[in-house]
Amino acid sequence: MRRRGLVAWLNPRGRRVGYWAFVLHRLTGLGLVLYLIIHLWVLNMLSQGPERWNDFVELAKSPLFLVLDVILLFGILFHGLNGIRVAFVGMGIGADQHERLFWAVSLIGALLLLLGAWGFFTV
Amino acid sequence: MAEQKNVQFRVFRYKQGDQAPHYDTFNVPINERTTVLEALQAIRRDQDSTLILRHSCHHASCGTCGMRVNGREVLACVTNVMELDTPVVTVEPLENAPLVADLVVDMGPFYDTFTQAHMPLIRQSEFLPESEVAEGVPYHMRFENCIECGLCVSACPVVSTDPEYLGPAALAAAWRVVEEPRGEDPEQVFAWVDTEHGCWRCHVAMECSEVCPSNVNPGHNIMALRHQLTKRKLSALFG
Amino acid sequence: MANYHVVIVGGGATGSALAHDLTLRGVRVTLVERGEVTSGTTGRHHGLLHSGARYAVKDQESAKECIEENMILRHIAPGSFELNDGLFVAITEEDLAYYDDFMEGCAVCGIPTRTLTREEALRLEPNLNPEVKLAVQVPDGTMDAMRLPLRFLATAKHNGAVIKPFTEVLSFLMEGKTVTGVHVRDHVTGKEYDIGADIVVNAAGPWSEKIARMAGVDVPVQPSPGVLVAVWGRLNNMVINRLHRSGDGDIIVPQRGLSVIGTSSWVVDDPDKLDVPEEHIQLMYEKGAEMIPLVKHSKMRAAWSAARPLIGSRGATTGRELSRTFKCFDHADEGVEGFVTITGGKATTARGMAETTADVVVKKLGLDAPCRTREVVLLPHTAYYV
């Protein structure tokens, strides 16, 4: 059977916006799950006393970490906003405009991302 | 005067019994009208008579010449070679169907699922609605848009990973039965698609509608099914 | 009853209908086709379910065959046709002059007609050239060129026939001057093997001559291609024909969301080498627009050629001089036993061609088995694959 499984998702040739939205939605979903695990593990460090927590807070203020925060924000915004798009289209509302909807949520997401990134690096 | 040039075709080859598939390269003279199908026929006629491919109507009505050209699902008979504008044209069989040999896939599994929708071949023609119907003719009828080409099934990322997913072609056919029952039972259709591997398994990649050569737009039809089912469930919930 | 084995060479409309007919008569059938079934001429034809009116003046034998088969097909393949009838439209004074002969011819051939005024015609088909003078309604229809033969194959297959696409006949097996089978290559595996047969039937359409030569006989088949053009948009629901002597580009057949204009005619030697001459494409647009002006600005979906298998003398130049009827050759008449050719004809008459051929075949086998294909309703085309 020529069912190539997950490898087929990565075939780029000729695929359009809806397809990439789907793939990215899956990847951000997995990414967010991974983040959640890491987040819980970090919180767990609270139980190990104030020094461990202070070490972590120092790390969290470093530029590299802030960049990772922006990436995380991208993941949240993409998955959230595209998720709303998928929810509507998936109930048959706006199916004809699904590509335009994607660009619309991308625009909103991009603005919020810039706002958030600015916030991370300045506040 | 027809402009002529030589284009390289990289064609997927496989015969049953081979260890693994390989690609053969052919040089084919083409002009501005040549289609991928015509080029493949020329290869078969002039260079390698063992090359097999499916084709029949040559005008996007039978659905048999579905294949992947430069990675994308198309009907070879209406794909213009010059418009592809690549130095090498790669031709491969459809995905998500068992490979028979070369560019030929087995459409048996496609039809196993598709026929469960029980969609009749003839539908009401929505064209020229203002025209009168001739005497003796019951109504203006036409063939359904779906030409059963399998491009949508090949392009769907969920079909790639879920062997039980009903798939865009069958679900689109199901929607057509709901839209225009023609003596079939829409309730049965709703029951068939309202399952984990039915219309809810779609993740809105919409690649099926993109590649459909015949205005079926399966992705939109799946959403229409979901829309109806959502309304039913909500009114059942709230009375 | 001994189980006789017939091998049919050619998986087009004729071979498919014959496989069905012989299987119903209790004969074991193997059909071999070098490509996908219907990938020769059959899949590419105009898709017209002929009322026969087109031939009612000049080729009445063919016209009668058409109307008879038209009615039979509606009965045995229900749900496989766009049955909106057809119109023969008179656009010029010259066309009008053809009307009397046309009506007389249809009456002689048993083709039902209804004459419509200009206004009535335009109410039925608003896209017609407003110059239309009158129209005649006939029982034309649209058939799906591939899916109809598939119904014959599906039924034959389910009744025990073996259908082998991608199986190419390379040579015949002979014992002296008797054909005993075929030597084939299976293009799926690349392997060659023999298939023995009591009778081999040549149903290879325009390739009939090539196949016949393998048995050392000649059949007078002249491949005669024509160009067809499909444009986007369903401009008419009824088949639109020009009311005149058969010519180029004088039929527009609706198919799903497309309109197919055809056709033209010339002769070639090699049915595998079919051009699509640019002038013919332009001619289709021009002639089509004379009946439906919107054609002129319609975007092309596809342009292709298909080769008719015309029977006739080698002296033909355009193909239009040759009859559109069919002929069955029992090559025992030329000293070659076990070999029959069926060729000529049209997609609409495939079942009738098969009946004639099957009658010849069972007689050669010494069987008493009447034809049942007029009554047996065919399985749906999807049954071919499941």
- Chain B residues near residue A21 by CB distance under 8 angstroms: 204-205
Give contacts of C 207-266 with B, CB under 8 A.
228, 230, 234, 236-238, 254-258, 260
Local structure of residue B76 (DSSP, 8 states): G
Residue C374 has pLDDT above 60, yes or no: yes
- pLDDT range class, residue C168, cuts 50, 70, 90: very high
User: Does the beta-carbon distance from B72 to A14 stay under 8 Å?
Assistant: yes
- Per DSSP, the three-state class of C245 is coil
Identify the CATH number of the domain defined by range C84-141+222-311: 3.30.9.10
- Whether residue A2 lies inside any domain: the answer is no
Query: Who among B210, B226, B228 is closest to A16 (CB)?
Result: B210
Neighbours of A44 (CB within 10 A): 10
Q: What would the pLDDT profile of C345-364 be if each residue is shown by its tens digit?
A: 889 999 999 999 999 999 99
- Chain B residues near residue C381 by CB distance under 8 angstroms: 121
Residue to test with chain C: of B18, B24, B61, most C Cβ within 10 A: B61
- pLDDT range class, residue A2, cuts 50, 70, 90: low
Residue B1 has pLDDT above 60, yes or no: no
ipTM: 0.96
| B181-to-B22, B121, B217, B226, C291 alpha-carbon distances in Å | 46, 12, 19, 17, 35
Q: What would the pLDDT profile of B37-60 be if each residue is shown by its tens digit?
A: 999 999 999 999 999 999 999 999
The reply to whether A50 touches chain B by the CB within 8 Å rule is: no
- On average, the pLDDT of chain A sits at 86
* Domain boundaries of chain C, sorted by first residue: 5-42+147-220+323-384, 84-141+222-311
Give the pair of three-digit tokens for residue C108.
């002689």
Residue A13 has pLDDT above 80, yes or no: no
Asked if residue C307 lies in contact with residue C271, where contact means CB atoms within 8 angstroms, the answer is: yes
Asked if residue B133 lies in contact with residue B140, where contact means CB atoms within 8 angstroms, the answer is: yes
Q: What would the pLDDT profile of A64-82 be if each residue is shown by its tens digit?
A: 888 888 999 999 999 999 9
- Whether residue A3 lies inside any domain: the answer is no
Minimal CA–CA distance to B12: which of B124, B80, B93? B93
- Whether residue A89 lies inside any domain: the answer is yes
Q: What would the pLDDT profile of C45-97 be if each residue is shown by its tens digit?
A: 999 999 999 999 999 999 999 999 999 999 999 999 999 999 999 999 999 99
Q: What would the pLDDT profile of B168-198 be if each residue is shown by its tens digit?
A: 999 999 999 999 999 999 999 999 999 999 9
Query: Who among A19, A92, A96 is closest to B205 (CB)?
Result: A19
* Domain boundaries of chain B, sorted by first residue: 4-105, 108-238
The reply to whether C190 touches chain B by the CB within 8 Å rule is: yes
> What are the φ/ψ torsions at residue B4 (nearest 5 degrees)?
-115, 145
Contacts of B124 (CB under 8 A, 6+ apart): B139, B140, B141, B142, B180
Fold of B4-105: Ubiquitin-like (UB roll) (3.10.20)
Residue C313: the pLDDT is 59
> What is the chain C residue with the closest CA to B17?
C189
Minimal CA–CA distance to B156: which of B108, B197, B187? B197
Residue to test with chain B: of C146, C169, C279, C305, most B Cβ within 10 A: C146
* The CATH number fitting domain C5-42+147-220+323-384, selected from 3.80.10.10, 1.20.272.10, 3.50.50.60, 3.90.1170.50: 3.50.50.60
- Chain B residues near residue A13 by CB distance under 8 angstroms: 70-72
| C99-to-A89, A122, C106, C245 alpha-carbon distances in Å | 57, 89, 11, 10
Q: Evaluate if pTM is beyond 0.80.
A: yes
Give contacts of B 191-220 with A, CB under 8 A.
202-207, 210, 219-220
Q: Which of the two residues, A35 and A91, has the higher pLDDT score?
A: A35
Helices B218-238, B168-179: crossing angle, 10 deg rounding: 60
User: Does the beta-carbon distance from C304 to B142 stay under 8 Å?
Assistant: no
User: Does the beta-carbon distance from B140 to C84 stay under 8 Å?
Assistant: yes
Residue B215: the pLDDT is 95
Exposure of C374 by Cβ count < 10 A (0-12 exposed, 13-18 middle, 19+ buried)? middle
Residue A43: the pLDDT is 84
Identify the CATH number of the domain defined by range B108-238: 1.10.1060.10
The whole-angstrom separation of Cα C303 and Cα C282 is 10
Residue C1 has pLDDT above 50, yes or no: no
- Give the range of the structural domain holding residue A89, as residue numbers without chain letter: 20-122
User: What domain count does chain A have?
Assistant: 1
Residue C228 has pLDDT above 70, yes or no: yes
Residue C47: the pLDDT is 96
User: Does the beta-carbon distance from B134 to C43 stay under 8 Å?
Assistant: no
Once rounded to an integer, what is the mean pLDDT over residues C116-144?
97
Q: What would the pLDDT profile of B82-106 be if each residue is shown by its tens digit?
A: 999 999 999 999 999 999 999 999 9
